Amino acid sequence: MRDELDAKTLIDTMGQAARTAAAELAFAPAPRKRAALIAAAEAVAARQDEILAANAEDMIFGRDKGLSPAMLDRLRLDETRLRGIVEGLRAVAEQHDPVGEVIAEWDRPTGLHIQRVRTPLGVIGVIYESRPNVTADAGALCLKAGNAVILRGGSESFHSSRAIHACMVAGLKAADLPEAAIQLVPTRDRAAVAAMLRAVAHIDVIVPRGGKGLVGLVQAEARVPVFAHLEGICHIYADADADLEKARRVVVNAKTRRTGICGAMECLLIDRAFYAKHGAVLIEDLIAKGVEMRVSADLAHIPGTKPAAEEDFGREFLDMICAAKLVDGVDGAIAHIRRYGSSHTESILTENDATAARFFERLDSAILMRNASTQFADGGEFGMGAEIGIATGKLHARGPVGAEQLTSFKYLVRGDGTIRA
Amino acid sequence: MRDELDAKTLIDTMGQAARTAAAELAFAPAPRKRAALIAAAEAVAARQDEILAANAEDMIFGRDKGLSPAMLDRLRLDETRLRGIVEGLRAVAEQHDPVGEVIAEWDRPTGLHIQRVRTPLGVIGVIYESRPNVTADAGALCLKAGNAVILRGGSESFHSSRAIHACMVAGLKAADLPEAAIQLVPTRDRAAVAAMLRAVAHIDVIVPRGGKGLVGLVQAEARVPVFAHLEGICHIYADADADLEKARRVVVNAKTRRTGICGAMECLLIDRAFYAKHGAVLIEDLIAKGVEMRVSADLAHIPGTKPAAEEDFGREFLDMICAAKLVDGVDGAIAHIRRYGSSHTESILTENDATAARFFERLDSAILMRNASTQFADGGEFGMGAEIGIATGKLHARGPVGAEQLTSFKYLVRGDGTIRA
């Protein structure tokens, strides 16, 4: 109880400071925000030894805590990774500034001129796990869009995040922007997360960055709106009218290029008519690449496959494992995806325009593709700049969430003593 | 407890039917939706006597319940009002259909072509009070944008809403669209409202239509996202550089054209320098029109004014009453609006571009105006067609919420066997 009260007081205080900073950031000129990000990049480069020393502390803590090798790897910083953070900050600095952009404008017969203009969202809360780079990446993107941000990193990366956060604050100071524009929750206490999720008065949007456990908890508990996806259960459907060579290329890339990202294919749906024409070639290609294929009963005779359990459909493996199933044409694929999909990304392989149109029209995933690898589901690949994540909700931000998606808008209406009849 | 369980079961059942209908509506051709709305308009016209008889029942119930004359007036239907409903349905039928519209498209160096395409939101819940016309207006607008809708009218308008709803269903049938596209909660039980507010699995957005009591309750209790404004506390700021004639025209119109709408001016802020130049003319104009002026101490010497209490600032009168205050320039106005405003609509009266720019830049109301009456805050006046209301949230829909604001989007990505490097 004591902790909860303390956490609420802490988040209220940080939230008020963030709100004040946000009011100022809303009209901070683009060059000032750019300068802050460049100065932050310089600070990270200059304080490399300090950051690596802080990270070493976290690594000791992590090993003592018995973190898995995968988690320790996510936590670990080295010169290459720090260079990545510096480059990331510089890239966001050079991105287009969305604030103040006129999204639409028109005239009315009354003489009014109406503009819809991009504004910041306000205050964004970012809750993440062990990767310390999120401190810089998320902080930078929120600032670019004129938002104040409250960062809450994982307890494992406490010292690393603090050291990187200090560089972000140095950047803000150098550009004469309010320090409270980028705040880091200064405690490992988990009650702070709960307080953030309920801080509707102070935080406009929560963005969770991490695994299914974290995202699921945030989605279930938050009173503040959340931009996120719970899982990326991406499907590829190989239609009867697919071009075989394109299909083989895309399927292997979608599964094996990187298995741990949310855009990786987790289930291959094969049209019976495709199978009749081309046989098991797609499955054989994946097996040859080392993928464990968990297949429906009618594919189980293919050498090297394993029978799929019911729960292998709609499952995010994030590994060299893939489910596969025969379906009856595009409608069979659509029915399967509606039932098992996570509204993230699906791709159809076909040369038939009508079939592709049906797939595009009848599915409502955030991203639908044709003859392209699902691994392209990424803000950078979309040309939208850095992203804070991919969202699968229906409201506001969907698909890659970049600087533009971290904005709202307002209407500016100009008259000349214009009154309503 | 019994009621709550029943209500949950009812809303779950209606929600599942709505979800199924929404999946079909998402790709219903625009002419079919238009035909359904025209057929519904015809049904309302044809069943006029039936609807008026149902309304007569509600009026008896309302009188017995001791409803105020204002509430009884809102409840009452007559031939003129029914004609308004018919015309409203026809107007929405002829509006532009937003679904499938390409909002943006671009090419990537990888060879991918990316489109951002408008899609329906899904299922919308509309909770309203005594005005039976909302059944037609809200139902039509949701359908136009390809959404299924669950309508929950006030208990006073139970029979009227049911009779109008039957016409909407007749329209859906005539156009061969699923009947569950427009559902009306068939009970007066208030537990149904509570169940709707928690139905995150079945309802994507709740739109409350009614007074502050209803909207406040919905905003406080809903787990489903809400598009709404709690209050329209609209300010007009008369700057030193205002044109006097334009200022007089706009101020009188903004307060007196209609006092009961959310875009009516509730507080007049007068720059000290304007007052030094022009004296009390704006206040005198309003008093001459019969407005009760509640003014700050430094204006209280003006004949016919009343001293304002602290709670008169930030108050939505919705009546022939207006607060007024002297402020120090545009920054004084901005500070007052930030403290007392409701982020709905504010207008600045000035010929000075720099001052107007400062007002536009430093305030973040959904609608900011220059030299125009706040009474223009309306979807129709914005040229956006019929609206379901005005929203003041930061996410998704802001300002007038018309058909376009009742949509989401998805990305359609076209490649040619394109894989990620």
Residue with tokens 């928690």: B198
Q: Where are the alpha helices (DSSP H) in A26-105?
A: 30-46, 48-64, 69-75, 79-94
Q: How far is B255 from chain A (nearest CA, A)?
A: 11
| pLDDT tens column, B303-338 | 999 999 999 999 999 999 999 999 999 999 999 999
A216 touches chain B (CB under 8 A): no
CB distance A114–B375 less than 8 Å? no
> Which whole number is the average pLDDT over A6-20?
96
pLDDT band at A379 (very low <50, low <70, confident <90, very high): confident
- Nearest-Cα residue of chain A relative to residue B343: A410
| pLDDT tens column, B170-201 | 999 999 999 999 999 999 889 999 999 999 99
CB distance B369–A204 less than 8 Å? no
Check if the beta carbon of residue A131 is closer than 8 Å to that of residue A74: yes
A277 touches chain B (CB under 8 A): no
CB distance A394–B408 less than 8 Å? yes
- C-alpha distances in Å from residue A296, one per residue of A273, A308, B277, B378: 16, 6, 84, 55
Length of chain B: 421
CB pairs under 8 A between A and B: 191
List B residues 305-344 in contact with A (Cβ-Cβ < 8 A): 338
Q: Which of A26, A204, A364 is opposite residue B26, by nearest beta carbon?
A: A364
Integer Cα distance of B144 and B93 in angstroms: 7
Q: Which residues of A touch B121 (CB under 8 A)?
A: 394-395
pLDDT band at A1 (very low <50, low <70, confident <90, very high): very low
Integer Cα distance of B363 and A117 in angstroms: 13
CB distance A371–B410 less than 8 Å? no
> Which whole number is the average pLDDT over A13-31?
96
Q: How far is B226 from chain A (nearest CA, A)?
A: 11
Q: What percent of chain A has pLDDT over 90?
A: 95
**Structural domains of chain A, ranges and CATH numbers in brackets:** 2-229+398-413 (3.40.605.10), 234-376 (3.40.309.10)
Check if the beta carbon of residue A63 is closer than 8 Å to that of residue A73: no
pLDDT score of A133? 94
pLDDT score of B378? 87
Q: Measure the CA angle with vertex A251, ends A249 and A256; round to 5°.
A: 100
Average pLDDT, chain A: 95
Which residue numbers in chain B have pLDDT < 70?
Answer: 1-2
Integer Cα distance of B392 and B230 in angstroms: 8
Q: How far is B22 from chain A (nearest CA, A)?
A: 11
CB distance B376–A420 less than 8 Å? yes
B273 touches chain A (CB under 8 A): no
Q: Which residues of B touch A372 (CB under 8 A)?
A: 112, 413-415, 417-419
| pLDDT tens column, B11-62 | 999 999 999 999 999 999 999 999 999 999 999 999 999 999 999 999 999 9
- Structure letter (DSSP) for residue B260: S
- Nearest-Cα residue of chain A relative to residue B238: A417
Check if the beta carbon of residue B273 is closer than 8 Å to that of residue B326: no
List A residues 222-251 in contact with B (Cβ-Cβ < 8 A): 225, 243, 245-247, 249-250
pLDDT score of A378? 87
B112 touches chain A (CB under 8 A): yes
- List the strands of the sheet with A345-349, edge to edge: A306-307, A292-295, A321-327, A265-271, A234-238, A345-349, A367-372, B407-418, B113-120, B102-107
User: Which residues touch B70 (CB under 8 Å, ≥6 apart)?
Assistant: none
Integer Cα distance of A133 and B138 in angstroms: 46
Integer Cα distance of A313 and A311 in angstroms: 5
pLDDT score of B4? 72
| Interface confidence: ipTM more than 0.95 | no
Helix/strand/coil for A265: strand
Instruction: List the helix and strand counts (H, then E) for chain A.
Output: 14, 16
Q: How far is A289 from chain B (nearest CA, A)?
A: 16
pLDDT score of B2? 60
Q: What percent of chain A has pLDDT over 70?
A: 99
φ, ψ of residue A158 to 5 degrees: the values are -50, -55
A324 beta partners: A268, A295
CB distance B410–A398 less than 8 Å? yes
| pLDDT tens column, A285-341 | 999 999 999 999 999 999 999 999 999 999 999 999 999 999 999 999 999 999 999
Q: Which of B245, B247, B368 is opposite residue A411, by nearest beta carbon?
A: B368
Q: Which residues of B touch A417 (CB under 8 A)?
A: 243, 245-247, 249-250, 371-372
Integer Cα distance of A138 and A160 in angstroms: 15
**pLDDT higher than 80, residue A216:** yes
Integer Cα distance of A316 and B92 in angstroms: 43
